[in-house]
Amino acid sequence: MNSEYAFYKQRLFNSPQLWNSNFFMSKETMCVLRSLIDVWLPDFKFGPGKCALDLSRNPWYWDTVTNNLRLIHEWGEDFVVRHLIMPNHVECCTKPVLNLIARNMPEVPINIMDQYYPDNLCDSSSPKYLERYSELARSPTEEEIIRSYQYAKDLGLNFETLSCEKSVFGLNP
């Protein structure tokens, strides 16, 4: 064995791979990634209504993301679902997302995030601001955040250890 090869062989290691993704991809892509990814970190943002279409111009969002989540769950993969609480979207997005998880994969850890901040097209003080995003022109209210966390708690979801923001609102068990 030549010394250069031995040097590189000693340096080789199996580095765990985490896939942080919006999970909007084909089943074929998921199958290719399966052999490469050790831990999945899917973002699950929109409910089944028209929010994905109105806000991100994506008419196939719900079906695509839920199918991909079901796929990794069926495969027995390690994953944590991330959901961002958006202003004015607790009923239409947060609750349906949490319901789907509670019904189909209640043991899966979920990080319910409250750090949405309006930026760019959603920031009313920005020259790029578009009126069509006015419902997102603020951060979530304390009431929206508490309601979202309480809903997850009522569903028995595994979210509290990953959603550290809850301590601010007294939702510790």
Q: 30 pLDDT exceeds 80?
A: yes
| 1 lies in some domain | no
Q: 11 pLDDT exceeds 80?
A: no
Return d(Cα 41, Cα 43) in angstroms, integer: 7
| 9 lies in some domain | no
| 145 lies in some domain | yes
CB-based contacts of 172, cutoff 8 Å, min separation 6: 160, 166
| 70 lies in some domain | yes
Backbone phi, psi, residue 112, to 5°: -95, 110
Domain total of the chain:
1
| 38 lies in some domain | yes
Residue 62 in tokens = 């719900």
| 94 lies in some domain | yes
pTM: 0.85
Mean pLDDT of 53-60: 94
Range of the domain at 109: 16-166
| 109 lies in some domain | yes
Mean pLDDT of 115-144: 92
| 3 lies in some domain | no
Instruction: Round the average pLDDT of the chain to a whole number and report it.
Output: 89
CATH at 24: 3.80.30.10
